[in-house]
């Protein structure tokens, strides 16, 4: 398959009904690769459903679902190598799971338990894992883009082969950080993949209210890098485009911008009411006609690779796996209150020493 930048229409392998519009066999993917993709899609949706339930049950305070965007997340994380760097944003848990964060760690994070690799310290949706090169996202939209490009530049200077992927939403591309990051990445030919999940909304603001170009991908041209528009609900296409850009960056050909055109099913977060700004019928159309999980399943079925029995077995496996992960996360203790002072400064500033003393007195420890 010839992967070209700046296409007018999104790059696509699978049509919404699961039939192929490109020769999927030319990508060098095996039957097992396709099955792995599908299993991840089902797993990520399962994690997300359960994560959101925690908020509905009053056991967690905040959740931002990835439902609808699973193909963009899984498809872009699968081609990465173990030591590649990942800068997720606040809606990237699917990609983090593929990179190696466990479901127990994710639920532990949502519940603020010690099972969270960052021990309940960071903002919701902000875990990371040093050994997996997952850098925790920050709450400020777009502010990790320059850091990610810096990490990519560092790999180049050190003559290392790791690439850096930076996830952002369409809203983040309206921030100054995006433009600074794009320029630096191109000028220094950083091995960076700037991956935009264009779910068409920044909370309630539609993309046509925040930019004048038709696509985000075309902005790459102005910085001197390639920009790829891909159907973000087609996992095979997302995989192929991301792999293409990762290979290119790894071979010293610099950065790429990828726009995965997709849609989120849930509200922006558990604190949002999306019925106030979505046009009637839009959500239903995406959910029933464009779903990334159903699309991949239909593709597998059309090749005789998947049956109802296999589906039932997989759903049961994922259910059991996630129930065990949730149990483990819930068993994990909450962090010691005084530990809030640990790990940020090597030695506490006088003010923090005073605050620590106050809290210790309050707690009677
Ligand atoms: C600098 C900054 N401005 C505003 C906000 C409030 N805010 C949080 S998420 C968000 C929308 C982000 O939209 P997008 O980048 O498209 O990602 P999505 O949530 O759709 O995945 C906004 C405006 C913020 N956190 N930081």
* DSSP bridge partners of 229: 259
Concerning whether 91 is annotated as a catalytic residue, the answer is: no
* Residue from 134, 135, 133, 145 nearest 169 by CA: 145
Phi and psi at residue 148, to the nearest 5°: -65, -45
264 is catalytic: yes
Ligand 1 midpoint to CA 328 (Å): 31
219 and 293 in a single domain? The answer is yes
**Are residues 277 and 158 part of one domain?**
yes
| Order of strands across the sheet that contains 226-231 | 85-87, 164-169, 192-198, 256-261, 226-231
Give exposure, 76-102, as e/b (b: 16+ Cβ within 10 Å).
bbbbbeeebbbbbbbbbbbbbbbbebb
Condensed to tens digits (0 to 9), the pLDDT of residues 164-217 reads: 999 999 999 999 999 999 999 999 999 999 999 999 999 999 999 999 999 999
Same domain assignment for residues 237 and 343: no
117 with 70, same domain: the answer is yes
* Catalytic residue flag (residue 268): yes
Residue 19 lies in a domain: no
At 81 the pLDDT is 98
HSE (CB half, 13 Å, CA atoms) of 13? 24
**Number of the ligand 1 atom closest to the C-alpha atom of 140:** 26
pLDDT score of 112 more than 90:
yes
Residue 121 has pLDDT above 90, yes or no: no
Segment 221-236 mean pLDDT: 98
Does residue 295 fall inside a structural domain? yes
Identify the weakest region by mean pLDDT among 5-14, 118-127, 182-191: 118-127
My answer on whether 326 and 180 are in the same domain is: yes
Torsion of CA 137, 141, 143, 146, to 10 degrees: 100
- Tell the residue nearest (CA) to atom 18 of ligand 1: 169
End-to-end CA distance of the chain: 65
Output the 3-class SS for the chain: CCCCCCCCCCECCECCCCCECCCHHHHCCCHHHHHHHHHHHHHHHHHHHHHHHHHHCCCCCCCCCCCCCHHHHHHHHCCCCCCCEEECCCCCHHHHHHHCCCHHHHHHHHHCCCCCCCCCCCCCCCCCEHHHCECCCCCCCCCCHHHHHHHHHHHHHCCCCCCEEEEEECHHHHCHHHHHHHHHHHHCCCCEEEEEEECCEECCEEHHHHCCCCCCHHHHHHHCCEEEEEECCCHHHHHHHHHHHHHHHHCCCCCEEEEEECCCCCCCCCCCCHHHCCCCCHHHHHHHHCCHHHHHHHHHHHCCCCCHHHHHHHHHHHHHHHHHHHHHHHHCCCCCHHHHHCCCCCCCCHHHHHHHHHHHHHHCC
State whether 43 and 118 are in the same domain. yes
Share of the chain above pLDDT 90, in %: 94
Same domain, 203 and 303: yes
Does ligand 1 lie within 6 Å of residue 232's CB atom? no
- Take atom 12 of ligand 1 and give the residue whose Cα is closest: 202
Tell me what the mean pLDDT of segment 71-87 comes to: 98
* Cβ(94) – ligand 1 distance below 6 Å: no
pLDDT at 324 over 90: yes
Instruction: Determine the pLDDT at residue 23.
Output: 87
Q: Structurally, how many domains does the chain consist of?
A: 2
What's the domain range around 162? 24-334
Write out the two tokens for 137.
């996202």
**3-class SS string, 272-290:** CCHHHCCCCCHHHHHHHHC
Tokens of 85: 């760097």
CA distance 360 to 228: 54
Residue 143: inside a domain: yes
The CB of 144 under 6 Å from ligand 1? The reply is no
- List residues bridging with 227 in a β-sheet: 257
Is 15 inside any structural domain?
A: no
Residues 36, 149 within the same domain: yes
Same domain, 298 and 321: yes
8 lies in a domain?
Answer: no
Which CATH number covers residue 306? 3.40.50.970
Measured in angstroms, how far is the CA atom of residue 203 from the centroid of ligand 1? Answer: 7
The residue with tokens 């004048």 is 212
Mean of the pLDDT values across residues 269-279?
Answer: 94
Q: Same domain, yes or no, for 238 and 352?
A: no
User: Which tens digits make up the pLDDT trace of 281-300?
Assistant: 999 999 999 999 999 999 99
Residue of 123, 167, 171 to mutate, ligand 1, most atoms within 8 A of C-beta:
171
Give the per-residue pLDDT at 54.
94
Residue 111 sits in the same domain as residue 150: yes
Chain position carrying tokens 């790999």: 155
Residues 174 and 93 in one domain: yes
14: Cα within 13 Å, side-chain hemisphere: 29
Residue 122 has pLDDT above 90, yes or no: no
Our answer on whether the CB atom of 145 is closer than 6 Å to any ligand 1 atom is no
The answer to the question of residue 11 being in a domain is no
Q: Of ligand 1's atoms, which has the minimum distance to the CA of residue 168?
A: 15
Q: Report yes or no on 14 lying in a domain.
A: no
Give the residue-averaged pLDDT of 65-87: 98
What is the structure's pLDDT at 36? 98
Report the distance separating Cα 307 and Cα 15, nearest Å.
Answer: 20
**Separation CA 153–CA 133 (nearest Å):** 15
The number of angstroms, rounded, from the C-alpha of 186 to the middle of its chain's C-alpha atoms is 23
Confidence of residue 247 (pLDDT cuts 50, 70, 90): very high
Does residue 181 form part of some domain? yes
Q: Active site residue: 179, 188, 277, 356, which one?
A: 277
Which neighbouring-strand residues pair with 138? none
Q: Is the pLDDT at 124 greater than 90, yes or no?
A: no
């Amino acid at each position: 398959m010839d992967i070209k930048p700046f296409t007018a229409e999104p790059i696509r392998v699978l049509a919404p009904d699961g039939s192929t519009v490109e020769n999927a066999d030319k990508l060098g993917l095996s039957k097992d690769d396709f099955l792995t993709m599908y299993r991840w899609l089902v797993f990520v949706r399962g994690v997300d459903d359960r994560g959101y339930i925690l908020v509905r049950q009053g056991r967690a305070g905040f959740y931002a679902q990835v439902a609808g965007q699973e193909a963009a997340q899984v498809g872009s994380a699968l081609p990465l190598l173990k030591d590649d760097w990942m800068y997720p944003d606040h809606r990237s848990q699917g990609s983090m799971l593929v990179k190696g964060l466990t479901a127990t760690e994710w639920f532990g994070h949502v519940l603020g338990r010690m099972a969270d690799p960052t021990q309940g310290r960071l903002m919701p949706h902000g875990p990371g894992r040093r050994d997996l090169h997952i850098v925790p996202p920050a709450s400020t939209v777009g502010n990790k883009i320059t850091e990610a490009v810096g990490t990519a530049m560092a790999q180049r200077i050190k003559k290392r082969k790791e690439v850096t992927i930076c996830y952002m939403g369409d809203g983040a591309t309206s921030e100054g950080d995006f433009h600074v990051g794009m320029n630096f990445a191109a000028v220094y030919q950083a091995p960076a993949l700037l991956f935009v999940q264009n779910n068409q909304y920044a909370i309630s603001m539609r993309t046509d209210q925040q930019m004048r170009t038709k696509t985000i991908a075309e902005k790459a041209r102005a910085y001197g890098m390639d920009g790829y528009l891909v159907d973000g609900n087609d996992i095979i296409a997302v995989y192929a485009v991301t792999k293409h850009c990762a290979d290119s960056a790894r071979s010293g050909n610099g950065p790429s911008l990828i726009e995965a055109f997709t849609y989120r099913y849930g509200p922006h977060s558990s604190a949002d009411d999306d019925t106030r700004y979505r046009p009637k019928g839009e959500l239903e159309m995406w959910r029933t006609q464009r779903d990334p999980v159903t699309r991949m399943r239909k593709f597998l079925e059309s090749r005789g690779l998947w049956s109802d029995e296999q589906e039932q077995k997989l759903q049961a496996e994922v259910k059991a796996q996630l129930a065990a992960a949730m149990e483990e996360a819930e068993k994990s203790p909450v962090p010691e209150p005084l530990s809030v002072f640990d790990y940020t400064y090597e030695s506490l500033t006088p003010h923090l020493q005073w605050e620590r003393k106050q809290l210790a007195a309050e707690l009677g420890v």
